[in-house]
């Protein structure tokens, strides 16, 4: 078990293999009230009914809410429809929202939990590598608006994060690969030992080896828990978890949140961060090649799509890390040597135009 300790919360990150273990952990985290389980159509088809059956067999009242898979569900319209659905039945302050799914479900369900009756208890049951290793931990919730990704949201810490590891065996290989981007990010932030461990287990994890999959998830979850415990509200080192993400969000926005997965965009974004680090003299070619090798090892892209300069700059200009005419880029000197650098839009625009716009 991994523990997260913040000023406002203390909770475990648990790795559970089967439905009985998951149901017991949910019961422990939310011992009273109704359970409002949110999932998407893909995950629900495999895991929602078994979990509901196990919880109801233990005497719990369960309500279920299922959305379409993908970023399009993280919309104001979908949130409004879910609020209406929640209040169409019984709900009170003793109830708990349970997010069963990947990062999209966790963000959306967490946002519903944070805003319903000024805040319901919340439990994360991640079923994707991306969510287990990163997104489900730390209390960030949010929805997308036309201006960009996750621009409306709140910090709402869960009571527990219960990683359902066996669920990864039904995850499409592309989604498993996508989740590995966050594991790579965590390994780079953590240092050379984590990079070496990832190299050791990555191929086995992609082949479906349960122990290797759990090891990858632990690399991400352990790093995320330590950083969140130190900096819950992202005033300091938590911003390091955005390595590659400023560029990634621009890629996702330009591609319409569909043709590139989040992890694919993060992989390309980390390569761009390494290239920019090299070009300002903070790193050398070996760092760029290291990042390229790591993302290629799990089938992720090491080159961003060719985009118009405006497609790069406009989402970056609206980035949450913007301050005036600058944006804080998270850059990389080498494993374990991540740093933030305030960068002017003029300088960044010139670099993008020269290297990655067209």
Query: 64 pLDDT exceeds 70?
Result: yes
Of 10-24, 84-98, 108-122, 247-261, the one with minimum mean pLDDT is 247-261
- In this structure, the answer to whether residues 163 and 279 fall within a common structural domain is no
- In this structure, the answer to whether residues 40 and 95 fall within a common structural domain is yes
List pLDDT tens digits, range 205-231: 999 998 999 999 999 999 999 999 999
Query: 289 pLDDT exceeds 80?
Result: yes
> Domains in the chain: how many in total?
2
Which residue range(s) make up the domain with 324?
173-355
Query: Which tops the pLDDT comparison, 257 or 336?
Result: 336
Q: What is the mean pLDDT of residues 293-312?
A: 96
**Residue 80: half-sphere exposure toward Cβ, Cα within 13 Å:** 3
Residue 131 in contact with residue 124, Cβ under 8 Å? yes
Query: 320 pLDDT exceeds 70?
Result: no
Domain-terminating residue out of 132, 147, 170: 170
Q: What is the mean pLDDT of residues 57-85?
A: 97
> What value does the mean pLDDT of the chain take?
95
DSSP H helices in the chain? 19-29, 41-43, 49-57, 76-87, 103-115, 129-130, 173-190, 192-206, 210-230, 245-254, 262-279, 285-297, 309-317, 345-355
- In this structure, the answer to whether residues 165 and 138 fall within a common structural domain is yes
Predicted local distance difference test score (pLDDT) of residue 23: 98
Predicted local distance difference test score (pLDDT) of residue 282: 98
- In this structure, the answer to whether residues 245 and 117 fall within a common structural domain is no
- In this structure, the answer to whether residues 150 and 293 fall within a common structural domain is no
CATH number, domain of 154, equals 3.40.50.1970
- In this structure, the answer to whether residues 220 and 274 fall within a common structural domain is yes
- In this structure, the answer to whether residues 305 and 233 fall within a common structural domain is yes
For the full predicted model, state whether its pTM sits above 0.75: yes
- In this structure, the answer to whether residues 221 and 293 fall within a common structural domain is yes
- Report, as residue numbers or ranges, the catalytic residues: 118, 140, 182, 224, 234, 238, 242, 245, 249, 262
Nearest-angstrom CA–CA distance, 246 and 23: 37
17 Cβ contact partners less than 8 Å away, ≥ 6 residues apart: 164, 165, 166, 210
Going by their DSSP bridges, the two strands 160-164 and 10-16 should be labelled as parallel
- In this structure, the answer to whether residues 202 and 60 fall within a common structural domain is no
187 — pLDDT class (breaks 50, 70, 90): very high
Please give the torsion angle defined by the CA atoms of residues 67, 70, 74 and 79, in that order, rounded to the nearest 10 degrees.
Answer: -10
- In this structure, the answer to whether residues 344 and 295 fall within a common structural domain is yes
Nearest-angstrom CA–CA distance, 176 and 168: 7
- In this structure, the answer to whether residues 52 and 190 fall within a common structural domain is no
Percent of the chain with pLDDT over 90: 89
Taking alpha carbons only, the member of 87, 86, 108, 90 closest to residue 99 is 108
- In this structure, the answer to whether residues 208 and 344 fall within a common structural domain is yes
Domain-terminating residue out of 170, 205, 223: 170
Distance in angstroms between the alpha carbons of the first and the last residue of the chain: 47
CATH number, domain of 184, equals 1.20.1090.10
Predicted local distance difference test score (pLDDT) of residue 324: 81
267 Cβ contact partners less than 8 Å away, ≥ 6 residues apart: 181, 184, 244, 295, 300, 301, 302
Domain-terminating residue out of 170, 195, 218: 170
């Amino acid at each position: 078990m991994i523990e997260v300790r913040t000023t406002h919360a203390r909770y475990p990150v648990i790795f559970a293999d089967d439905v009985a273990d998951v149901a017991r952990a949910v019961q422990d985290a939310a011992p009273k009230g109704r359970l409002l389980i949110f999932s998407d159509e893909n995950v629900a088809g495999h895991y929602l009914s078994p979990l509901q059956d196990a919880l109801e067999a233990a005497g719990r009242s369960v309500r279920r809410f299922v959305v379409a898979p993908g970023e399009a569900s993280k919309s104001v319209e979908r949130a409004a429809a879910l609020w209406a659905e929640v209040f169409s039945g019984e709900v009170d302050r003793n109830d708990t929202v349970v997010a069963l799914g990947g990062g999209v479900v966790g963000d959306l369900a967490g946002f519903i939990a944070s805003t319903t009756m000024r805040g319901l208890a919340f439990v994360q049951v991640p079923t994707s590598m991306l969510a287990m290793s990163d997104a489900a931990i730390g209390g960030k919730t949010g929805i997308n608006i036309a201006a960009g990704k996750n621009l409306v949201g709140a910090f709402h810490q869960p009571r527990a994060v219960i990683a359902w590891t066996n669920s990864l065996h039904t995850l499409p290989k592309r989604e498993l690969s996508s989740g590995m981007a966050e594991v790579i990010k965590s390994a780079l932030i953590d240092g050379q030992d984590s990079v070496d461990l990832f190299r050791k287990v990555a191929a086995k994890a992609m082949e479906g080896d349960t122990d290797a999959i759990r090891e990858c998830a632990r690399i991400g979850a352990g790093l995320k828990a330590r950083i969140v415990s130190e900096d819950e509200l992202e005033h300091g080192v938590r911003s390091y978890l955005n390595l590659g993400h400023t560029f990634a969000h621009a890629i996702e926005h330009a591609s319409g949140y569909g043709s590139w997965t989040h992890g694919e965009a993060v992989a390309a974004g980390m390569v761009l961060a390494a290239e920019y680090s090299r070009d300002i003299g903070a790193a050398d070619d070996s760092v760029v090649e290291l990042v390229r090798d790591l993302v290629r090892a799990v089938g992720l892209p090491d080159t961003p799509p060719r985009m118009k300069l405006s497609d790069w700059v406009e989402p970056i200009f609206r980035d949450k890390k913007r301050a005036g005419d600058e944006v804080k880029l998270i850059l990389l000197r080498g494993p374990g040597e991540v740093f933030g650098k305030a960068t002017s839009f003029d300088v960044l625009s010139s670099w993008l135009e020269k290297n990655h716009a067209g």
